[in-house]
Amino acid sequence: MSKTSLSGFPEWLPEGRIVENYVLEKIRQGFELHGFANIETRAVEPVSELLRKGETSKEIYLLRRLQEDPVKAAEDPRQIGLHFDLTVPFARYVLENRARLNFPFKRYQIQKVWRGERPQDGRFREFTQADIDIVGDGELPFFHEVEVAVVMARVLSSLPLPPVHIRVNNRKIVQGYCEALGIENVEGALRALDKLDKIGPGGVASEMEELSFSTKAQEKLLQMAQIKGDGSTVRSRIQELQVSSELLEQGLDELTQLLDQASRRVPGLVQADLSIARGLDYYTGTVYETTVEGHENLGSICSGGRYDSLATDGKRTYPGVGMSIGVSRLVSRIISGELATASRKVPSAVLVAVTNEEHREDSNKVADALRERGICADTAPKAAKFGKQIKAADQRGIPYVWFPDSSEVKNIITGEQVQADPLSWKPDEQYLVPQVTANN
């Protein structure tokens, strides 16, 4: 990543951008293979809509004209801000287009979002997200919660990353468990448990103490939150805690069903972790978080869940389930951790040498003939000695140099040099476009 004077706004070098484009294309391919249609929404939304996520409102970037009175702008109910995720804009999009959409509606969306938080490793103020959501009209069968996990497991496994682990829970388990313990402040419990990985059991217990939870309730919640494993393990461990409720049982049934189906379709990639709570209050069923093996300090690189009432027009409700990949977070780690390497810095497969400036037009004709056949080509910037022109190609990772005076092309990687016609010659497939190779 190149250095910028503004922190939190990543700018990749050309080879980093090639890696990013590779990642984005893999994500697009994976989503489309599973039937998700692409949409794009506007970058801004009314602040009143963005505030629906509660505490995240502190991170909103507001938009106003330079000459506008800041006091009046703050009081204007039409005030707008940059979206900080793609879920709130998508909910609005569904409501506005519900008469023209086919339900269940499966969409994917890859766009930039903005958050005014403190930049740190893997966290930016401007970054790219890649979301999938499945939304129903009035109802959405549970099997879509399995589908979303399977799609994301396959997509993430196609990227140049170490193994990923999608950890799942069901909010009904936590809510039912709290109800059985007589805990009324369920949202407080969820928000505290969601920090378990960051602040540990002691920190979570302290937060629960501040919420006036009894010592027994704290112990029971922490015991539940540390349960991990497959469906049978989770069920037996919950039974050992001797806590039960109808909602808890419903959540357990859904979670074990998801785990069983995922184990058959994407073996080893999805497991239960009852500490996953997702602090946002609109989740109602399955919740997901994803970590990369060996890079757990990066946090969750893909998360989401089931929501039953995020999109509603007052008469009908449009329930959905979705997950979001933090693309910039992933790409940042891939580049800084050298998890993958681009084969060259530029798209050009061929550098056409220039014998002398009087004959540059000959070089341009060769390059244009290659381009017309879909082969990326460039002409040398200077009519220097051929050795220097070959070095210029090598510095950029360009595999071929074309010599128009002799009608020969040289593969500077293998050393092979052959006679060639720009109207018929083809580069080896591996050199046609930049390749991204995983290093793990």
CATH number of the 350-438 domain: 3.40.50.800
* 430 belongs to an annotated ligand binding site: no
Burial class (CB in 10 A: 0-12, 13-18, 19+), 79: middle
* 278 belongs to an annotated ligand binding site: yes
pTM, two decimal places: 0.91
* 13 belongs to an annotated ligand binding site: no
Is there a common fold for 1-163+293-342 and 350-438? no
Domain parsing of the chain, residue ranges? 1-163+293-342, 167-275, 350-438
pLDDT, residue 65, reads 84
DSSP type of residue 8: T
Range with lowest mean pLDDT among 61-70, 212-221, 248-257, 302-311:
61-70
* 22 belongs to an annotated ligand binding site: no
* pLDDT per position as a tens digit, 412-428: 999 999 999 999 999 99
Q: Contact at 8 Å (CB) between 225 and 192?
A: no
Residue 68 in this model has a pLDDT that exceeds 60:
yes
Question: In whole numbers, what is the pLDDT of the chain averaged over residues?
Answer: 92
Question: Cα separation of 155 and 188, whole Å?
Answer: 33
* pLDDT per position as a tens digit, 119-155: 888 889 999 999 999 999 999 999 999 999 999 999 9
Nearest to 104 by CA among 160, 60, 149, 142: 142
1-163+293-342: CATH topology is BirA Bifunctional Protein; domain 2 (3.30.930)
Element (H, E) at 181: helix 171-181
Q: Which two tokens stand for residue 101?
A: 């959409």
pLDDT, residue 49, reads 84
For residue 437, the number of C-alpha atoms closer than 13 Å in the C-beta half-sphere is 9
* 283 belongs to an annotated ligand binding site: yes
For Cα atoms 161, 5, 58, give the angle at the middle one, nearest 5 degrees. 75
* 86 belongs to an annotated ligand binding site: yes
Give the confidence band of 280 by pLDDT, cuts at 50, 70, 90.
low
Give the confidence band of 1 by pLDDT, cuts at 50, 70, 90.
low
* 67 belongs to an annotated ligand binding site: no
